[in-house]
């Protein structure tokens, strides 16, 4: 790929990102208002975070890996438990990391 195409691709990606964000700012007055819509929006950040993290936890070499030897899965389950019990981001991260490090040390 030549440098010209790479530059045009980067500009196009930036423009698309800008237009998507602008659409919510400029067109926000036409979005539905009310508690129900705002209630749906509360689920957007956890859904995006799960979509970003799940492949790293559950995929190994392009294949779904939910076997018992998947250490990242166990660490993620420990982090989920810590999040549920403590509602603390720091405790969630710490629990997941500690469990992963301990399991890696044991293997």
The confidence score (pLDDT) of residue 73 equals: 95
Return the residue matching tokens 């629990």. 95
Q: How does pLDDT run across 3-36, given as a tens digit for each residue?
A: 889 999 999 999 999 998 888 788 777 777 778 8
Who's near 53: CB < 8 A, 6+ residues apart?
76
Q: How far is residue 101's CA from residue 87's CA, in Å, rounded to a whole number?
A: 22
Average pLDDT, the chain: 91
What the block records as the tokens of 90 is 């720091």
The confidence score (pLDDT) of residue 31 equals: 73
The confidence score (pLDDT) of residue 1 equals: 61
pTM summary value: 0.64
Closest CA to 57 of 18, 5, 96: 96
Q: Where are the beta strands (DSSP E) in the chain?
A: 59-60, 63-64
């Amino acid at each position: 790929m030549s440098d010209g195409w790479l530059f045009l691709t980067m500009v196009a990606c930036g423009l698309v990102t800008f237009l998507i964000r602008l659409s919510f700012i400029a067109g926000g007055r036409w979005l539905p208002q009310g508690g129900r819509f705002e209630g749906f929006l509360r689920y957007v950040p956890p859904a995006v975070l799960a979509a970003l993290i799940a492949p790293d936890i559950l995929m190994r070499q392009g294949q779904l890996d939910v076997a018992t030897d998947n250490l990242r899965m166990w660490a993620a389950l420990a982090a989920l438990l810590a999040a549920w019990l403590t509602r603390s981001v720091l405790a969630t991260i710490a629990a997941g990391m500690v469990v992963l490090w301990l399991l890696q040390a044991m293997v």
